[in-house]
C-alpha cells in the first residue's frame, strides 16, 4: 500500500526537528571524543566542525531522513540525492567564499589542504550509486579525475531537478586543480542512525560504570543544551575546546562514580598476640584501654583489619587506584597532625595522658572520605589504628619513642 502523506504531514515541523536533534547529538558525540588541543563547534564553520591540534579541521554536514525503505530501514543515498549534492554545493561555496578571503585559487587550495569534508547521514549505501563508487576509486588512485569529472557532468544532464542541476554546476565551477583536491578530501559516514548508542559508548569509555551511563548522558545532554541556548541568546558561538569542556562538565562524570561498598562480608584473621600490636600498646600507654581488656583489643583490631582489607579489595577491583589510597592516608595523617599540634605539642608532663585522650576522642568523632565516598565511624577509626600500627601517627606526646 502506498505511503501517501498529506501536504501538512510532508511539511511537518517534526521532520525538521529530528534533523536539528541529529545535528546536535553528533556535536555532543564529537565533544566526547575531543583530545587536548582540539575543539568542536555547532553551526559555526559548518553544521558541526572540529579543529585538531595540527592546524587541520574537519567540516561535518549532517543529513537525516525519516523516509524508510520496504524493510523499514532508512532509504539509501542515491547518486542524484538532493542531500548529497546540496552538501557538495555548500562545501564548494565555502571553499570559494570571497568573504573569507578565498577568491584566489591559491587560497582555496591552502584551505582544502587543511580541511576534511565529511557527510554524515543515516541514509544507507546504495550499490547503484556510481558517483560514490567512482569517488572512492578516485581517492584510491583507481580512477582518473577526467573520468570522475565526466560522470558528474553526465549527472547534470541526467537529472530533471533544477535544484540539483544548480548544485552540480556550483561544484563543477571550481577550478580543475581545486576540484581534484576537494574530491580527494571528501568522506562519507553512512547508516549512522543510532547516535545515542554512540554517545553512551563514548561515555562508557571514560570509565563510567554501566549503571551510571544513562544518568551521565541525561545530565550532560541537559546541561549542554542549556549552555548552548544561553550562548546563542547572548550572540556567542557554540564552540568548546577540550579544556573548556573538561572544566565545565567534568563534575558530571566525577559524581557518576559508584559509592564504595562498605558492607562487604569480612572475617578477620587476628594476630597470635593481639596485645603485641603497636597501636594497642599506644592506646594502653595513654590509658585509653586497660592492659587486659581483651574485648576492646579484638574490637579495635577488627576495625583496623577491616579498613586494610577493604582498601586492598577496592584496589584489586578497580574501585580505587593507588594514588587515591595514598591521598586518603595522607589526608588522615594531615588531620591528625593538626589535632596533635593543638592537643599535645606544648602540653605539660602532668597533662600528657589527658591531652592524648582528648586528641584521640576528637579524631574518633571524624568520618573520613576516600575518593567520593564517606567512610563510617568504624572504618574511620580503623584507619587511625592502622596508621598508628604503622608508626605514622600516635597519641602520646612522646609517641615516637614509646
Spatial CB neighbours of 217, under 8 Å, sequence gap ≥ 6: 196, 199, 200, 203
d(CA 34, CA 41): 11
| Unique residue bearing C-alpha cell 600528657 | 352
Q: Dump pLDDT digits (tens) for 48-68.
A: 999 998 889 999 999 999 999
Spatial CB neighbours of 350, under 8 Å, sequence gap ≥ 6: none
For residue 137, CA distances in Å to 47, 113, 129, 236, 354 come to 27, 20, 13, 42, 87
CA atoms within 13 A on the CB side of 33: 16
The answer to whether 287 touches 396, Cβ cutoff 8 Å, is no
Could you tell me the maximum CA-CA distance found in the chain, to the nearest angstrom? Answer: 106
Q: Say which DSSP state 149 is in.
A: H
Q: Please give the grid coordinates belonging to residue 149.
A: 569529472
Which residues, listed in sequence order, are joined to residue 115 by a DSSP beta bridge?
A: 57
Q: Please give the grid coordinates belonging to residue 139.
A: 581517492
Q: Dump pLDDT digits (tens) for 139-168.
A: 999 999 999 999 999 999 999 999 999 999
The answer to whether 54 touches 45, Cβ cutoff 8 Å, is no
**pLDDT given at position 188:** 96
Q: What's the start-to-end Cα distance of the chain, in Å?
A: 93
Report field, pTM of the whole predicted structure over 0.85: no
Q: What is the pLDDT along the chain (402 residues), one digit of tens a residue?
A: 344 555 445 445 566 789 999 999 999 999 999 999 999 999 999 999 999 988 899 999 999 999 999 898 999 999 999 999 999 999 999 999 999 999 999 999 999 999 999 999 999 999 899 999 999 999 999 999 999 999 999 999 999 999 999 999 999 999 999 999 999 999 999 999 999 999 999 999 998 989 899 999 999 999 999 999 999 999 999 999 999 999 999 988 887 877 888 988 899 999 999 999 999 999 999 999 999 999 999 999 999 999 999 999 998 888 888 889 999 999 999 999 999 999 999 999 999 999 999 999 999 999 999 988 999 999 999 999 999 999 999 999 999 998
d(CA 115, CA 93): 14
| Unique residue bearing C-alpha cell 593481639 | 274
The answer to whether 198 touches 29, Cβ cutoff 8 Å, is yes
Q: Say which DSSP state 366 is in.
A: -
**pLDDT given at position 15:** 67
Q: What is the β-pairing status of strands 39-42 and 57-63? A: unpaired
Query: What is the DSSP code string of 295-362?
Result: HHHHHHHHHHHHHHHHHHHHHHHTSS-HHHHHHHHHHHHHHHHHHHHHHTTT--GGGHHHHHHHHHHH
Amino acid at each position: 500500500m502506498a505511503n501517501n502523506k498529506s501536504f501538512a504531514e510532508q511539511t511537518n515541523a517534526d521532520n525538521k526537528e529530528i534533523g536539528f536533534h541529529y545535528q546536535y547529538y553528533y556535536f555532543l558525540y564529537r565533544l566526547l571524543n575531543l583530545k587536548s588541543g582540539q575543539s568542536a563547534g555547532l553551526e559555526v564553520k559548518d553544521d558541526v566542525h572540529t579543529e585538531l591540534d595540527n592546524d587541520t579541521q574537519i567540516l561535518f554536514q549532517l543529513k537525516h531522513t525519516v523516509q524508510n525503505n520496504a524493510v523499514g530501514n532508512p532509504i539509501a543515498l542515491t547518486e542524484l540525492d538532493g542531500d548529497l549534492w546540496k552538501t557538495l554545493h555548500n562545501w564548494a561555496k565555502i571553499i570559494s567564499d570571497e568573504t573569507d578571503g578565498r577568491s584566489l585559487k591559491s587560497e582555496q587550495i591552502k584551505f582544502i589542504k587543511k580541511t576534511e569534508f565529511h557527510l554524515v547521514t543515516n541514509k544507507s549505501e546504495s550499490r547503484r550509486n556510481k558517483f560514490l563508487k567512482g569517488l572512492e576509486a578516485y581517492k584510491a588512485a583507481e580512477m582518473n579525475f577526467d573520468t570522475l569529472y565526466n560522470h558528474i557532468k553526465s549527472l547534470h544532464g541526467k537529472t530533471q531537478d533544477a535544484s540539483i542541476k544548480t548544485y552540480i554546476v556550483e561544484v563543477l565551477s571550481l577550478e580543475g586543480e581545486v576540484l581534484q583536491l576537494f574530491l580527494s578530501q571528501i568522506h562519507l559516514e553512512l547508516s549512522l542512525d543510532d547516535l545515542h548508542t554512540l554517545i553512551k559508548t563514548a561515555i562508557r569509555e571514560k570509565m563510567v560504570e554501566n549503571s551510571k551511563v544513562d544518568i551521565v548522558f541525561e545530565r550532560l545532554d541537559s546541561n549542554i543544551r542549556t549552555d548552548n541556548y544561553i550562548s546563542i541568546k547572548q550572540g556567542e558561538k557554540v564552540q568548546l575546546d577540550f579544556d573548556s569542556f573538561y572544566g565545565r562538565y567534568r563534575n558530571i562524570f566525577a559524581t557518576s562514580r559508584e559509592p564504595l561498598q562498605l558492607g562487604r562480608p569480612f572475617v578477620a584473621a587476628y594476630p597470635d598476640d593481639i596485645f603485641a600490636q603497636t597501636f594497642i600498646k599506644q592506646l594502653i600507654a595513654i590509658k585509653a584501654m586497660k592492659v587486659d581488656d581483651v574485648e576492646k583489643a579484638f574490637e579495635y583490631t577488627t576495625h583496623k583489619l577491616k579498613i586494610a582489607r577493604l582498601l586492598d579489595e577496592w584496589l584489586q577491583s578497580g574501585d580505587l587506584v593507588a594514588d587515591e589510597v595514598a591521598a586518603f592516608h595522607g589526608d588522615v595523617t594531615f588531620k591528625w597532625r593538626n589535632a596533635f599540634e593543638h592537643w599535645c605539642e606544648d602540653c605539660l608532663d602532668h597533662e600528657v595522658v589527658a591531652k592524648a585522650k582528648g586528641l584521640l576522642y576528637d579524631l574518633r568523632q571524624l568520618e573520613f572520605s576516600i575518593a567520593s565516598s564517606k567512610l563510617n565511624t568504624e572504618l574511620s577509626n580503623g584507619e587511625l589504628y592502622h596508621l598508628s600500627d604503622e608508626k605514622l601517627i600516635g597519641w602520646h606526646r612522646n609517641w615516637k619513642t614509646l
